[in-house]
Amino acid sequence: MPANEIVVTVSVPAGPAQPGMVPDGSRLFVACRSADRVAVIDTRIRSVEQIIRTFGLVEPTGCAISPDGSLALISNANGKRAYFPRRVPGPRRNVLIWDIRGNQPAKVLEVESAAGFMTVF
């Protein structure tokens, strides 16, 4: 196969942004900013296996995966001001921590300024 050849195209919700791959390469988490969702792609069958939509997920801009593959950290711009923290008045940007093994949100971390693109080491 020639270098840089497209082998498959997978449709995801609007506004795909920085993806994060689990360490074994089996799943790819894709932030879909315009749709307020994260698409989870099964790389073996090359299709979307899940669409994540949950509290705290507003304009996701990027995904990073923990080295052990147990958590996805999803940064959210919240430019629409649709997410309001429970304890602090006013809209905030955040990082949603998604428990991959439990397939549920683990925590929402609120941040003052843009939670941009991330990398986990």
Looking at residue 1, its pLDDT comes to: 56
Residue 110 per-residue DSSP state: E
Average pLDDT over residues 84-92: 64
Summarize pLDDT for 30-66 with one digit per residue, the tens.
999 999 999 999 999 999 999 999 988 889 999 999 9
pTM score > 0.75 for this model? yes
Confidence (pLDDT) at 57: 86
The pLDDT confidence band at residue 120, using thresholds 50, 70 and 90, is low
Who's near 63: CB < 8 A, 6+ residues apart?
Answer: 18, 19, 20, 29, 30, 31, 38, 72, 73, 74, 75, 118
Give residue 86's pLDDT. 65
CATH topology for the 16-111 domain: Neuraminidase (2.120.10)
